[in-house]
Amino acid sequence: MGRCPVPYLRRLIQDRNQHPPASLDANPGTAPDLATWPAVGSTRFRRSEATAPIGQGDQVWERATQDVLRWAVKARSGFTVDDARKVTPGSELTITARMAGVTIREPVRVATVVENDTRVGFSYRTLPGHPVTGEEAFIVHRDGDDVFVTVRSLTAPGNEQPWRALYPLLRIAQVIARRRYLRALR
């Protein structure tokens, strides 16, 4: 594509082509350590948060907190995780999705891990080669005896083709995956 002669459109194209994870460093991302996810000013990322009950009691809490820190939300939702050990900040791994005979590799880096008496979970950021750009968090939390899972995500189109062009279809796949995530720890 040649140079765009209209300055406004040129700036929009340049903004779109910037690598969005760099802009994640300027905000709290998915903030898995916080009970309330703070709204950030304008962003290029599509923001999503969903919560579902898992069950009640200490046994449910113990099981769910162990599972969430070992990628069970992804694994039980149809993904393959190349390292199912307990998450650690900075660890890099590849998640694999297989759909309709197509294998999709999703390189990621664990950004934040939180473990306290009422909240356990982590967030990860996408790396180059991932179909989308952004951050996702899986959080198990409790309110009294009730145990919940929350999934938060910030998503933008990936920088590479064919993923950028396929972003509308990837959004549909994300909605389906999110439903599975919310059932994965029951």
What is the mean predicted confidence (pLDDT) over 151-156? Answer: 95
What residues does 156 pair with on adjacent strands? 133
The predicted structure's pLDDT at residue 5? 53
- Residue 76 forms part of a structural domain: yes
- The answer, yes or no, to whether residue 27 has pLDDT greater than 60, is no
| Residue 145 within a domain | yes
Both tokens of 143, joined, read 């309110």
The CA distance from 11 to 144, in Å, is 50
pTM of the model: 0.84
CATH of the domain at 125: 3.30.530.20
Does residue 103 register a pLDDT over 50?
Answer: yes
Our count of domains for the chain comes to: 1
**Structure confidence at residue 171 (pLDDT):** 86
